Amino acid sequence: MKNLSIQTRTGTTIEKEGLTLQPVTQSVLWLGQRFGFVWNRPYAIRVDDGETTAQVPIVDLTRIAIIILWGLTALFSLMAVRNQLKTRRKDQ
């Protein structure tokens, strides 16, 4: 898709106790002609101690919880449809 893009951006650098910290975010953008969708999420923190630089990933628990809720919603919806179909077959 030509209207879909994933961007990684860095935030403002913070210096604390000899460490340099820099947040990294990721954005998923889908832009249509009349509307668009943007999803921002924390991605990582870059830590620089002057000698080495490491990137520590961030586990987004909110995103995991939302995906689980979407899955449960789909599951219960399918179960409800299945039960309705069974009830209609019994009534006929």
Name the phi and psi angles at 3, rounded to 5.
-95, 0
Whether the Cβ atoms of residue 18 and residue 4 lie closer than 8 Å to each other: no
pLDDT digits over 1-34, tens only? 578 999 999 999 999 888 999 999 999 999 888 8
> Residue 12, SS3?
coil
Q: What is the pLDDT of residue 78?
A: 97
Please give the pLDDT value at position 1. 58
Mean pLDDT of 58-66: 90
Question: What pTM does this model have?
Answer: 0.63
For residue 3, the model assigns a pLDDT of 85
How many angstroms separate the CA atoms of 51 and 65, rounded?
A: 37
Question: Per-residue pLDDT for 76 more than 80?
Answer: yes
